[in-house]
């Protein structure tokens, strides 16, 4: 597990050490540094894979990533199982032993909405993985459901699921989002594509929520089948109603409690409240951290770390931290 992450001279981070837990929630105002934390982990994954270039597609060169207030070089440091590793960026000379960095699953905020088809991969190493936009999700379901059937742990099985299979539990969790919906899929190897249906309808004729949440649910479930997995999800709440968001928070916590390390970037008070409820009901307080991010007057990120106690209460409540409902409601009284 990744125990901590240190960012120096990276984007809006002048210098910051961040602890990470089984479940770490990143929240805060827009453009406060949440995505930068995720990007640093994606860069570190490339470094640990000994890739020649550590730059991320679409994010520019080193100068685009350098903190304008710092004279230091960009340095990313990580602690994995009490061992520290660091890279100066961009650094393509340092090499790492295979298997040190967790297997990373990243579902971005740009994931596919309703589409007629979803691409699949022919790469043998990627056939059981899900892409950041949700590509390959249906082939991944097929892989673990029929090609290499692997039952879920009893603690992660949905109470209403009739079996421990990936497909049955994906279907059952989707019904939490949209009661009684019938999910099916088809993988067309000959054309390197796949498609999903909901109640027999193509995805484009069904609401956005089901398509957006499918790769999130599948990734969370599949990540529990092996050890040393890291799941990063941006805005899991997208297009979900409050009940669905609360139930999704429960699934996130269940996976983290089972051993998958999960990092969630969210603006949802329902996700946050769902985590608090799970913590109160399942003695999960020691395994959860919340980092509230905001920019100071120099446009550097400041971080307030918030802890949830065993009763689901928080130790601190910074201004702006999931309090907009109360602020709006007070004006109506």
Reading the chain (333 residues) residue by residue, the pLDDT tens digits are: 999 999 999 999 999 999 999 999 999 988 899 999 999 999 999 999 999 888 898 888 888 999 999 999 999 999 999 899 999 876 667 889 888 999 999 999 999 989 999 999 988 878 899 999 999 999 999 999 999 999 999 999 999 999 999 999 999 999 988 888 999 999 999 999 999 999 999 999 998 899 999 999 999 999 999 999 999 999 999 999 999 999 999 999 999 999 999 999 999 999 999 999 999 999 899 999 999 999 999 999 999 999 999 999 987 777 776 655 555 545 556
The enclosing H or E element of 208 equals helix 208-223
Residue 124's pLDDT is what? 81
Residue 207's pLDDT is what? 85
Would you list the domain boundaries of the chain? 1-102+228-333, 110-226
CATH 2.60.40.730 fits 1-102+228-333, yes or no: no
Residue 53's pLDDT is what? 87
Please give the torsion angle defined by the CA atoms of residues 170, 176, 179 and 183, in that order, rounded to the nearest 10 degrees.
-10
Residue 218's pLDDT is what? 97
| C-alpha dist (Å) from residue 159 to 155, 156, 223, 251, 278 | 9, 9, 19, 12, 15
Residue 177's pLDDT is what? 84
Residue 9's pLDDT is what? 96
The alpha-helical segments, DSSP class H, found in 17-103 are 34-48, 62-65
Q: Is 86 exposed, middle or buried (0-12, 13-18, 19+ CB in 10 A)?
A: middle
| C-alpha dist (Å) from residue 304 to 8, 25, 246, 321 | 17, 12, 24, 10
Give strand pairing partners of 19. Answer: 4
Cβ–Cβ under 8 Å, residues 133 and 121: no
């Amino acid at each position: 597990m990744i125990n901590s992450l240190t960012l120096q001279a990276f984007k809006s981070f002048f210098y910051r050490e961040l602890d990470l837990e089984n479940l770490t929630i990143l929240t805060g105002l827009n453009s406060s540094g949440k995505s930068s934390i995720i990007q640093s982990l994606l860069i570190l994954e490339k470094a640990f894979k000994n890739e020649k270039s550590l730059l991320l597609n679409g994010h520019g060169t080193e100068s685009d990533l350098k903190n304008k207030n710092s004279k230091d070089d960009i340095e990313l440091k990580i602690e994995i199982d009490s061992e520290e590793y660091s890279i100066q960026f961009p650094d393509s000379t340092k090499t790492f032993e295979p298997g040190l960095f967790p297997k990373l699953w990243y579902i971005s905020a740009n994931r596919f909405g309703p589409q007629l088809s979803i691409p699949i991969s022919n790469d043998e190493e990627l056939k059981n993985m899900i892409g950041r936009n949700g590509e390959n999700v249906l082939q991944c379901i097929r892989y673990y459901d029929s090609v290499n059937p692997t039952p879920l742990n009893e603690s992660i099985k949905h109470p209403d699921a009739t079996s421990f299979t990936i497909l049955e539990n994906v279907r059952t969790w989707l019904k939490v989002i949209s009661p009684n919906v019938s999910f099916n899929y088809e993988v067309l190897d000959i054309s390197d594509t796949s498609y999903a249906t909901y109640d027999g309808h193509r995805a484009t004729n069904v609401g956005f929520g089901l398509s957006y949440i499918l790769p999130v649910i599948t990734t969370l479930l599949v990540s529990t089948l092996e050890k040393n997995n890291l799941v990063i999800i941006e805005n899991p709440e997208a297009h979900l109603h409050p009940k669905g968001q609360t139930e999704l928070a429960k699934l996130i916590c269940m996976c983290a409690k089972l051993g998958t390390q999960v990092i969630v970037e969210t603006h949802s008070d329902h996700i946050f409240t769902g985590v608090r409820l799970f913590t109160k009901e399942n003695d999960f307080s020691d395994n959860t951290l919340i980092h509230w991010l905001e920019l100071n007057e120099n446009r550097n990120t400041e971080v307030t770390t918030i802890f949830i106690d065993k009763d689901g209460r928080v130790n601190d409540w910074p201004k702006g931290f999931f309090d907009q409902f109360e602020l709006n409601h007070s004006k109506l009284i």
